[in-house]
Amino acid sequence: MVNSCQTKSILEYLRVGGRGSGKGKGKTDNSDKEEIRKKKRDKRQKKDSGDGEQDMLEEVNKLMIKILHIAENPAPLVVKVSPNIKEVRPYIVCCVVKGMNLKQGNALKRFLSAQIKLHEDICERRTAATIATHDLQLIKGPLLYDAQPPSELKVTPLGRKEIKAKDLVRQLQLEAEEQRKQKKRQNVSGLHKYLQLLDGKENYPCLVDAEGVVISFPPITNSERTKIRKTTSDLFLEVTSGTSLQICKDIMDTLILKMAELNKFTLENKEEESVSDGESDMTSEPVNANPSQNAEQEQSPLTVEQVRVVDADGNLKVLYPSKTDLTLVSSLLTIIR
């Protein structure tokens, strides 16, 4: 399995209030500052004693990503926010990540499992925020972040046919009741456990592409139409929240770090390549069939493209990643800006 120790410190930081909520301060801040001072002292001592080579080695082995700025992008993606969303789920942060390798072995399975763990942990079972990932090639921009009545909102949920949101919710409620009867307990699994997050909502949040296709219905489901597959290498990422913008940014930081971790693991472990979305189907040629191509791939960092979120008049609301983003994970990442 992928060694997830690099993200544990990030997750712990968010648990004690690293989202700017004011929690976990006081003694925690003082101990954190002291820890930083200690690390600086240790680093100086290593250099003074001639052991600076270890620091250089650690720097080389750090994960790496490259930021593509709006000005450098010939076709940047834009997300427009509708005024309707303000009272429903107002906060959204988006970006594009290119160069992800999901073809080999269980890479796709690891990626999807990582999202589930993030939803359970820092997303607080989707109550704080929800992550959605899409195949960029299947999206037509610009996008609209909107809120629509359940009777009008149509979505094609993962693994299901197109359905109105009100009918989907009713269907999930019936399935949840059946689960409770069969298992003889109150807890339910899958999408069913998030239904209460829609309680009291007159309109439901959704992300819609330029062709009117609903690609996301947070916090319930993504669309089958933009589903991530083994052949996906360029991804559109979104994090939405009804709580705060900072939560969205912190979770996006952590997601990008996890993706860089997973991609490095996949490239370093020579699993066989599979063109099928089925994890057991691994009949294709080995990864190292073309060593020079693989070496070039290993040296290429993930590229994170900036995405603008604007209001109905085109005024900038959010640009991610900005200069102040990814600072939470900067000790674990080499960021080429």
CB neighbour burial string for 155-184, b if at least 16 within 10 angstroms, e if fewer: bbbeeeeebebeebbeebeeebeebeeeee
User: Rounded to an integer, what distance in angstroms lies between the CA atom of residue 146 and that of residue 208?
Assistant: 7
Q: pLDDT tens digits, residue range 267-280?
A: 898 777 765 665 43
| pLDDT confidence bin for 208, thresholds 50/70/90 | very high
Tokens describing residue 145: 């972040």
Whether the upstream peptide bond of residue 142 has omega within 30° of 0, thus cis, is yes
**pLDDT for position 194:** 84
Task: Give me the phi and psi of 335, to 5 degrees please.
Answer: -110, 120
Q: Are 65 and 302 in contact (CB under 8 A)?
A: yes
User: Rounded to an integer, what distance in angstroms lies between the CA atom of residue 177 and that of residue 25?
Assistant: 42
Q: pLDDT tens digits, residue range 19-37?
A: 555 444 444 455 565 566 5
Compute CA distances 43 → 36, 50, 60, 148, whole Å: 11, 11, 16, 55
DSSP β-bridge partners for residue 155: 163
Give the DSSP letter string of 326-337: T-TTTTTEEEE-
Q: Give the 3-state secondary structure of 146-206.
A: EEECCCCCEECECCCCCEEHHHHHHHHHHHHHHHHHHHCCCCCCHHHHHHHHHCCCCCEEE
Sign of CA dihedral 291, 296, 300, 302: negative
When pLDDT is averaged across residues 75-89 and rounded to a whole number, the result is: 96
Token pair 């070496």 is found at 295
For strand 91-98 and strand 204-208, is the pairing parallel, antiparallel, or unpaired? unpaired
When mean pLDDT is compared across 80-84, 138-142, 188-192, 206-210, the lowest value belongs to 188-192
DSSP β-bridge partners for residue 68: 305
Q: Pick 13 or 297 by higher pLDDT.
A: 13
Which residue, among 251, 334, 331, 321, has the nearest Cα to 20 in the 3D structure?
251
**pLDDT for position 183:** 74
| Distance in angstroms between the alpha carbons of the first and the last residue of the chain | 30
